[in-house]
Every structure is written in structure tokens, then in C-alpha cells.
């Protein structure tokens, strides 16, 4: 990365504000990620024998629980403070990477430094925490079935002391439910890792049972209407640095930027201010080696700024006189070295303008169309025009084109397939056509294509029980399309499409609870896909996908509340 990034002072952690609308604001009781005290061995003192990496070396005494006479097993749960599943996962993250030593007689932030103390902290129970054999009798949890497991539940071996162990469940790692992503405090420290169900072989696996904290509540994560991308980032590969630049709107309406490098992970956040809503769209400018960013203001007007690694954000410019409803899409025009921008007006008309670094915004032109949400526009290198796809207010997919010389073309409609979210269209250089992916009203990922000579093709469905808008990317190595979407259960999902065989099978990523729509980009250096999504806690998440190995682990940007 350029030296400018390395010199920047780390930004303070900010929590991105629109979480208020989802009811998932992290409580003040979330432990601060302070460095642990008294964790380093003294000089000259021999380190203790390494503790086992799996299971529990022992547990301390449980906290006393006040009981209501005659209330039965679930007395405490009836009066416990409710906590959402995303809040549980967010609390669990705060102990990962701190270097805490397992010590059932010691505490950190008031909670015992053992397996059950850690889960008690994540569940926001009374300090110093319960134990594996007291969660049930204290009325805190109940046993559930494997098929009922959700993020924030746990796998518990309720034996006493050294024989018991508990793992916080984050989500399934594969479609067969043979392994899962979990948070645990084992003898070797706090881990976020993939675990075979119910636990690692040779560790009394027969004694593990799924349990649920009765005070944990499901998150409410409404699907953005018409693909407005209220909770979505935009990601662009930077060919100069081999990293990914990510832009997102904060809950305070400000445009924010960070980056991701395979070697070092996330960078720090920078903000451009602005009073924005919804998802921005960012495009790499190969001439200036910068990023041009377009977003919609809360006043409904289109705005532009830019980002360079050396100087950060530029100034804002506004395109006056046209009220825009959904998120914009912008495409670099290699012929004019400008940017063509498409957005849907409050009147349901598809609109076009352009941005030139020398002259600023051009005039607006309208194509009509009675469409909604966010359009998907793609440059056609053969015709040197732009093909644009959008969802009509009748839920049908529509297509038109824009040519700098002649303006908008006529509309065409793909009949018989009702869609819910915004489409994702990708140019196919092998067939000189466009492959289009969108989510149906039935939650099924669907595909069709558009060829200039023949128009729309037929539809095919992949199922998937997904929501929002998918992110489809062309894979030049396999000449196929990799597609990422968010499941209705909040999981990250992936499938692929090839013209010869159609859709492939589904794979599910690590168990972070997500909302909105993902943003994926192809990495030509590793021939993999990097995927960025926003969690229900409004924190930016990253994973990757390789055809050989599937999904990687999740990484998290420093807390910064996203979702305009």
C-alpha cells in the first residue's frame, strides 16, 4: 500500500448509527476491548506447561442466582435482560486476540477466564459467570435440537469442573451441518474457529448438547426495499496496490472509506462527511489512479467526491435538479475518460448523467420505465454503449441501453418472473452478452441473460432462500460467474453459474449474522473472490472464496456503524 496509509494514525472506533432502526444497538454493557492485566509472565519465571488446545482445564464457582419461589426451572430467564443474537456475537469478539490466559481462578472485566465464564460474558450474565453444569439448573438455558441452532446458542458438555466445556455457536460452516464456526475459551486461549459438530473427536463428544439462553432474542433485519442498499458497502479492487478499497455510508449519513489487504487485513477508517443515504457506488479511475464515488444525499440529489491513497477524500459536488430515489450505479467510460451514472428518480423514471473530472456533472436525461430500486449498468466494449437493467414496479426485469451519441434506447421486459431485489448484471466477454442475477419474490436466486441480437433468454432458479440483492462476478479463469447473496437466516451464501451446466451447489460461509446485500470483487492475483458484507451489528465484515477451498474465515473492520 502507499506510504500515506502506513503513516495514518489509527482512527477511534465508531459504531455505525442506523442500527437503531433494526433494534440491534450494542448495549453499554459490552466489555471494552482493553488489554488484559497481569497476563505477561515475569522475567526469569519458567512458563507453565502449555494447556490443552481443546476442551476445558477446569472451571471456577458459578455466580449465585436469585430465584423466585415456585417459579420453577426458568425463574431467572423470566427476568433476565434480553440480548439479541448479534449482540452476543459482538460481545464474544471482544475477547478474541487479547492474549488472555485460561485461569478459572482469575477474572477479566469481572468474568472468570474459563470456558463458561467467557460464554457468560457473551450472554451478558451476572459476573463472574455460570458454569457448564449450572446454566440449566439456574434457569438460564434449555436444551434444543441440532436443527434449531442459531447464532448465539451454544454447544454444552454439562459435566462438572475439568470434564465440562461450552462453545458459543456462531453458524454452520457447511451445508451438511457437519462443522460450525464457534467461539470458545480453551486451555490455549480464546478462539474463533471451525469446529466439527458437536466438538473435536476424542473430547467426550457424546456429552455435548445444543443449548439456548432463554434471554437471547432474534435480530430483526428487514430486507432493503427494492435493493436500496441501506446496509451495503461498495468494494473495488485496486490494481496498483493489490488491495480492496471499500466505501460505505455510516448511520450518521457520512461517506466512509477503509481498505483490505490480504497480508494485513483492514486499514483504518476515514470519513468524507456528507448527508447521505443508502449505498454509494465507487469506480476505479485508471487515468488518475483514484476512485470516483457517487451517492445520493438525504435531499435526493446526486453527489460526487473522489478518493486517492495519497491525499484521501476530495471535495463534494452536487448534480442539481433531479430527485433520485434509489442507489446510483456508475460506470467508467474508457472512450471519453468520464463516468456515466444511472439512477432511478422519485417518479420511477431511469435517469442518466455523467461526470467528467475537468467539467463536472453533465445534464440529466430520462428514459421513463416505471422502475424502482437500484439499476445495474454495464459497459459494452463492442458497441461502446451501456446496457442497463432495472426492476419494474410490477416486479419484472427490464432492459434499456444508453449511447452517448443517441441517448436512451427502447425498453424490453423479461416476462413471467417476479423479482424482489435489485439485479446484478455482468458482461460476458465470451458470448458478448449480459448475464443477469436477481432474487425472486420466493427467495430463490434467479438467472437470465440478454443478447443484443436476441433479447432476453429464459429464466433458471437456484433456490437458496436468500434476500436483498446478489453480487455476481465474472471469473476469467473458469469462464463462469460466481454469485454471493445473504440468506434469510443472515448467512453468507455462494453459488456459481456456467452457460454449459447452469447453477452449481450452494455453500454457506462462516456464521456471522449479516444484513442487506454483499459486495464481491475478483482478485486476479490470487484468482479468488473477496466478499464484504455488513453485520446486523452494522460492522463491516470480510471473507473470501476460492473454488478449491471454499470460504475463508471472517475478518472485521474496527467498529464503525454502517447503513445510511
Q: How many residues are present in the chain?
A: 564
In this predicted structure, what is the pLDDT of residue 370?
Answer: 95
Task: Name the superfamily (CATH) of residues 225-556.
Answer: Fucose-specific lectin (2.120.10.70)
Architecture of the domain spanning 25-40+49-217: Alpha-Beta Complex (3.90)
**Block residue for cell numbers 477479566:** 108
Cα torsion angle, 185, 186, 192, 195, sign: negative
Classify residue 69 by burial, with Cβ atoms within 10 Å: 0-12, 13-18, 19+: exposed
What phi and psi, each to the nearest 5 degrees, are found at residue 70?
80, 5
Note whether 277 and 249 are within 8 A (CB). Answer: yes
pLDDT tens per residue, range 18-65: 322 222 333 333 333 333 333 333 333 333 445 567 776 767 677 665
Q: How many other C-beta atoms lie within 10 A of the C-beta of residue 206?
A: 8
- Closest-CA residue to 215 (of 385, 21, 80, 377): 80
In this predicted structure, what is the pLDDT of residue 175?
Answer: 64
In this predicted structure, what is the pLDDT of residue 192?
Answer: 86
Classify residue 350 by burial, with Cβ atoms within 10 Å: 0-12, 13-18, 19+: buried
The C-alpha angle 174, 237, 354, rounded to 5 degrees, equals 125
pLDDT tens per residue, range 64-111: 654 433 333 334 443 468 998 878 988 998 898 889 999 989 999 999
Q: Is the pTM of this model over 0.85?
A: no
Helix (H, G, I), strand (E, B), or coil: what is residue 390?
Answer: strand
In this predicted structure, what is the pLDDT of residue 185?
Answer: 96
Note whether 560 and 15 are within 8 A (CB). Answer: yes
Across the strands, what pairs with 550? 546
Per-residue pLDDT of the chain (564 residues; tens, 9 = 90+): 333 233 232 332 333 333 222 223 333 333 333 333 333 333 333 334 455 677 767 676 776 654 433 333 334 443 468 998 878 988 998 898 889 999 989 999 999 999 999 999 999 999 999 999 999 999 999 999 999 999 899 999 998 867 899 999 988 776 678 988 899 999 999 998 889 999 999 999 999 999 999 999 987 643 333 333 445 789 999 999 999 999 999 888 899 999 999 888 898 899 999 999 989 999 999 999 999 999 999 999 999 999 999 999 999 999 987 889 889 999 999 999 999 999 999 999 999 999 999 999 999 999 999 999 999 999 999 999 999 999 999 999 999 999 999 999 999 999 889 999 899 999 999 999 999 999 999 999 999 999 999 999 999 999 999 999 999 999 999 999 999 999 988 889 999 999 999 999 999 887 667 888 999 999 999 999 999 998 877 788 899 999 999 998 887 786 655 665
Distance CA 250, CA 560 (A): 7
Q: Where are the domains of the chain?
A: 25-40+49-217, 225-556
The DSSP result for 262-305, as a single string, is TTTEE---EEEE--EEEEEEEEEETTTTEEEEEEEETTS-EEEE
- Mean pLDDT over the full length of the chain: 84
Amino acid at each position: 500500500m502507499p506510504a500515506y496509509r502506513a503513516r495514518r494514525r489509527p482512527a477511534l472506533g465508531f459504531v455505525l448509527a442506523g442500527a437503531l432502526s433494526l433494534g440491534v444497538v450494542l448495549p453499554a454493557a459490552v466489555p471494552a476491548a482493553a488489554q488484559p492485566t497481569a497476563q505477561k509472565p515475569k522475567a526469569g519465571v519458567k512458563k507453565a506447561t502449555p494447556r490443552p488446545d481443546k476442551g476445558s482445564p477446569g472451571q471456577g464457582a458459578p455466580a449465585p442466582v436469585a430465584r423466585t419461589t415456585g417459579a420453577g426451572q426458568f425463574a431467572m430467564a423470566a427476568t433476565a435482560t434480553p440480548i439479541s443474537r448479534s449482540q452476543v456475537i459482538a460481545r464474544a469478539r471482544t475477547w478474541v486476540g487479547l492474549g488472555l490466559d485460561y485461569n478459572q481462578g482469575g477474572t477479566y472485566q469481572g468474568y472468570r477466564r474459563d470456558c463458561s465464564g467467557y460464554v457468560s460474558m457473551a450472554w451478558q450474565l451476572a459476573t463472574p459467570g455460570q458454569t457448564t453444569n449450572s446454566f440449566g439448573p439456574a434457569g438460564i438455558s434449555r436444551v434444543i435440537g441440532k436443527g434449531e441452532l442459531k447464532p448465539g446458542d451454544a454447544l454444552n458438555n454439562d459435566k462438572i469442573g475439568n470434564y465440562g466445556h461450552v462453545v458459543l455457536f456462531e453458524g454452520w460452516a457447511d451445508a451438511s451441518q457437519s462443522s460450525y464456526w464457534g467461539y470458545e475459551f480453551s486451555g490455549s486461549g480464546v478462539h474463533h474457529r471451525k469446529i466439527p459438530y458437536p466438538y473435536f473427536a476424542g473430547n467426550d463428544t457424546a456429552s455435548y448438547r445444543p443449548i439456548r439462553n432463554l434471554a437471547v432474542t432474534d435480530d430483526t433485519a428487514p430486507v432493503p426495499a427494492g435493493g436500496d442498499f441501506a446496509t451495503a458497502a461498495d468494494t473495488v479492487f485496486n490494481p496498483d496496490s493489490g488491495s480492496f478499497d471499500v466505501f460505505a455510508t455510516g448511520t450518521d449519513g457520512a461517506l466512509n472509506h477503509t481498505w483490505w489487504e490480504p497480508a494485513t487485513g483492514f486499514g483504518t477508517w476515514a470519513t468524507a462527511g456528507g448527508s447521505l443515504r443508502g449505498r454509494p457506488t465507487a469506480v476505479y479511475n485508471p487515468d488518475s489512479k483514484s476512485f470516483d464515488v457517487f451517492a445520493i444525499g438525504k435531499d435526493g440529489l446526486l453527489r460526487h467526491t473522489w478518493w486517492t491513497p495519497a491525499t484521501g477524500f476530495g471535495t463534494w459536488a452536487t448534480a442539481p435538479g433531479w430527485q433520485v430515489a434509489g442507489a446510483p450505479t456508475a460506470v467508467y467510460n474508457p472512450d471519453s475518460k468520464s463516468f456515466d451514472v444511472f439512477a432511478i428518480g422519485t417518479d420511477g423514471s431511469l435517469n442518466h448523467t455523467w461526470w467528467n473530472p475537468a467539467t463536472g456533472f453533465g445534464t440529466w436525461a430520462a428514459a421513463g420505465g416505471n422502475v424502482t430500486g437500484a439499476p445495474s449498468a454495464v459497459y459494452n466494449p463492442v458497441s461502446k454503449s451501456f446496457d442497463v437493467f432495472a426492476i419494474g414496479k410490477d416486479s419484472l426485469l427490464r432492459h434499456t441501453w444508453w449511447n452517448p451519441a443517441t441517448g436512451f434506447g427502447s425498453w424490453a421486459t423479461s416476462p413471467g418472473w417476479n423479482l424482489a431485489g435489485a439485479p446484478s448484471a455482468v458482461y460476458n466477454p465470451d458470448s458478448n452478452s449480459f448475464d443477469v442475477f436477481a432474487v425472486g419474490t420466493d427467495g430463490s436466486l434467479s438467472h437470465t441473460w440478454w443478447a443484443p441480437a436476441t433479447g432476453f433468454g429464459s429464466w433458471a432458479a437456484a433456490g437458496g432462500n436468500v434476500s436483498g440483492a446478489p453480487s455476481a462476478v465474472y471469473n476469467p479463469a473458469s469462464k463462469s460467474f460466481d454469485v454471493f447473496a445473504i440468506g434469510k437466516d443472515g448467512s453468507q451464501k455462494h453459488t456459481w453459474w456456467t452457460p454449459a451446466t447452469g447453477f452449481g451447489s450452494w455453500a454457506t460461509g462462516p456464521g456471522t449474522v449479516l444484513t442487506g446485500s454483499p459486495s464481491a470483487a475478483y482478485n486476479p492475483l490470487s484468482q479468488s473472490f473477496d466478499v464484504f458484507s455488513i453485520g446486523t451489528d452494522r460492522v463491516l465484515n470480510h471473507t473470501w472464496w476460492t473454488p478449491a477451498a471454499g470460504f475463508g474465515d471472517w475478518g472485521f473492520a474496527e467498529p464503525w456503524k454502517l447503513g445510511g
